[in-house]
Amino acid sequence: MSEVIYVNGEFLPKDQAKISVFDHGLLYGDGVFEGIRFYGRNIFRLEEHLERLYSSAKYIMLKPPKSHQELIELTAETCRRNGHDDGYIRLIVTRGEGTLGLNPYACTEPGLIIIASKIQLYPQEYYEKGLPVIVAATRRFSPDGLSPRVKSLNYLNNIMAKMEAIHSGVQEAIMLDQSGFIVECTGDNFFIIRKGVVFTPPTYQGALRGVTRDAVIEIAKEKGIEVREERLTLYEAFEADECFLTGTAAEIIPVIAIDRRPIGDSKPGPITGDLIAAFRKITTEQGVKF
């Protein structure tokens, strides 16, 4: 069965789902998006994803063409029409069709695309054995220019770091901010565990407020594990007992080496394992059913 995609008011088969070449989403990366997973016909934390979408849109002064409630219904309907029980949603709001100049006010109306498909980010073996990562030379861009917390359609900064990872023979790269503190990875939030305490960089430092990050923080606290949102240097990362990354596509993935330094005993750690098990449980419970 061909996938059905929602594009600007219509549900269309994949090969007919098209947008204008004058859409500023394409011309300038002018737009915002969300990556959302569904598990057993439950769209995990859809409301939280939409909240973040509206925050990103507000920052760039873009008004999504649908209300929060309408977006919930359209997203659920896109899932229903595609017949997958588990999968990955890409929800995109673009500035819309405009002229060849930058002026966003020349764009007629915002575009809306919803895709409900499948994704696997890292090969399965890394979930079992853990992921080696590098530290990218490419720094996360400064909030002076644009807040890195905006989930915009321009991911070139992250893509440059991702290429560094691939060129080094690994899947993922840690990105530092302009002062050399760890912010996050190219598409995932970053966590370490040291002496039973979970640490992650604070969002005001520029890390995306990951929906998975929030879920993991909540789970850890419920388990009575102390969680600290603190600036972290590579020193803290290298001496950590455990390390893991979180993201909608990645879920929770253990990290076993950073720039060739083994983390802990080079195996996925026990607390990480407990968090993964608890996370799996809530993925089918919290969210919007379709």
Within a 10 A sphere around the Cβ of 260, how many other Cβ atoms?
Answer: 9
Helix (H) or strand (E) holding 70: helix 68-82
Buried b (16+ CB within 10 A) or exposed e, 200-220: bbebebbbbbbbbbbbbbebb
Query: Do 133 and 175 meet the contact criterion of CB atoms below 8 Å apart?
Result: no
Residue holding tokens 């966003």? Answer: 104
Stretch that binds ligand PMP, among 4-12, 126-134, 246-254, 278-286 (CB under 6 A): 246-254
Rule CB under 6 A: is residue 87 a binding residue for ligand PMP? no
- Of 8 and 94, the one with the shorter C-beta distance to ligand PMP is 94
Contacting ligand PMP within 151-190 (CB under 6 A): 158, 184, 187-189
Rule CB under 6 A: is residue 31 a binding residue for ligand PMP? no
Catalytic residue from among 66, 118, 151, 162: 151
Residue 92 to residues 75, 146, 172: CA-CA distances in angstroms? 11, 19, 24
Query: Do 89 and 59 meet the contact criterion of CB atoms below 8 Å apart?
Result: no
Rule CB under 6 A: is residue 247 a binding residue for ligand PMP? yes
Stretch that binds ligand PMP, among 22-30, 80-88, 128-136, 210-218 (CB under 6 A): 210-218
Helix (H) or strand (E) holding 12: strand 10-13
Active site residue 281: no
- Of 66 and 213, the one with the shorter C-beta distance to ligand PMP is 213
Q: How far is the CB of 8 from ligand PMP (least distance, A)?
A: 24
- Of 138 and 158, the one with the shorter C-beta distance to ligand PMP is 158
Binding site for ligand PMP (CB under 6 A): 35, 158, 184, 187-189, 208, 210-213, 246-249
Active site residues: 151
